[in-house]
Amino acid sequence: MNGQASGLDRLLNPIRRLGNAGLFLVTAFSRMRFSRLQLLETLRQVYFAGVRSLVIIVTGGFFVGLVLTLQTYDTLSRFGAADAVSTVLALSLFRELGPVLTTLLFAGRAGTSITAEIGLMRATEQLDAMDLMAIDPMERIVQPRLLAGVLAVPALVLVFNVCAILGGLVFAVFLMGADPIAFWGNMQATVELWRDFGHGMLKAVAFGFLASWLAVYYGWTARPTSEGVALATTQTVIATAITVLILDFVLSAFML
């Protein structure tokens, strides 16, 4: 009986966590207040979450473009369709790779930072001190970080896509000798603004919201110990990666 009970608890625990995360989100939305102070704090969090992630986004995007173009060029050359490499590169980035990889990089760099920051506030009783001073921590701490992810991730996706296309251009044109006019012409002729680029940006907004939501939730619910904060940061990365991949499949199925 004890074994069955423990097995049932393991099965129900993810569902319980999902319900708690949903209640946390509803509470955060119900306490949202928009003021000049909140706007300034949100912009500050956009800087910390977005601008400070540019190094890994630019580097990752450029080398993803290089590798993707390398593999695509090698495969298409066997069928005499090497000129279509820019089309495959652009569609792969705009529809799937750009939003997904950018969000995973964002979760690994900024998401863990948000979780650790809020978790340490919980461990050092700063959140309780705000309650005592009649300052709503949901409004002052959670809201700016939640909105920052929604704003930062789509902008980072744009940067990632641009850097990846530049990486593909460098490999195809300067290393393989492809025609730059054909490279850009094929891309412009096949990529549709709304169906390809627009759908990718909708994914970026959804993934940014998801990543920031999970980051603040795991930080808010972290055990007030050093081990609890460390565990919360790990859970943030794992939960974000799994849910982003699942949501990507669901959104792709509906969009197509």
What's the CA gap between 109 and 212, in Å, rounded?
12
What's the CA gap between 47 and 38, in Å, rounded?
14
**What does DSSP assign to residue 222?**
S
Q: How far is CA 155 from CA 103, 116, 135, 165, 180, in A?
A: 11, 23, 31, 16, 26
65: part of which helix (H) or strand (E)?
A: helix 54-77
7: part of which helix (H) or strand (E)?
A: helix 2-30
In this prediction, residue 6 has a pLDDT band, given cuts at 50, 70 and 90, of: low
The pair of structure tokens assigned to 215 is 């980051």
Phi, psi (rounded to 5 degrees) for 135: -110, 120
Phi, psi (rounded to 5 degrees) for 80: 70, 25
Q: Torsion angle of alpha carbons 13, 17, 18, 24, nearest 10°?
A: 160
First to last CA, the chain: 47
Contact 92, 221 (CB under 8 A): no
What's the CA gap between 223 and 227, in Å, rounded?
8
Tens of pLDDT, residue by residue over 61-72, are 999 999 999 988
If you search the block for the tokens 């972290």, which residue do you land on? 222
**What does DSSP assign to residue 164?**
H
Which pTM was predicted? 0.90
Whats the size of the chain, residue-wise? 256
Name the residue with higher pLDDT: 175 or 213.
213
Contacts of 117 (CB under 8 A, 6+ apart): 219
The pair of structure tokens assigned to 57 is 């986004």
Name the residue with higher pLDDT: 136 or 114.
114
Cα dihedral 48, 224, 25, 129 sign: negative
The pair of structure tokens assigned to 169 is 């251009």
Contacts of 206 (CB under 8 A, 6+ apart): 247, 251
**What does the pLDDT average to over 137-151?**
91
For 85-238, strand residue ranges (E) read none
Give the pLDDT of residue 234. Answer: 93
Give the pLDDT of residue 5. Answer: 52
Tens of pLDDT, residue by residue over 35-75, are 888 889 999 999 999 999 999 999 999 999 999 999 888 88
Rg (CA), the chain: 21
Give the pLDDT of residue 211. Answer: 95
Q: Torsion angle of alpha carbons 206, 210, 216, 219, nearest 10°?
A: -160
What's the CA gap between 247 and 155, in Å, rounded?
20
**What does the pLDDT average to over 4-33?**
76
**What does the pLDDT average to over 172-198?**
86
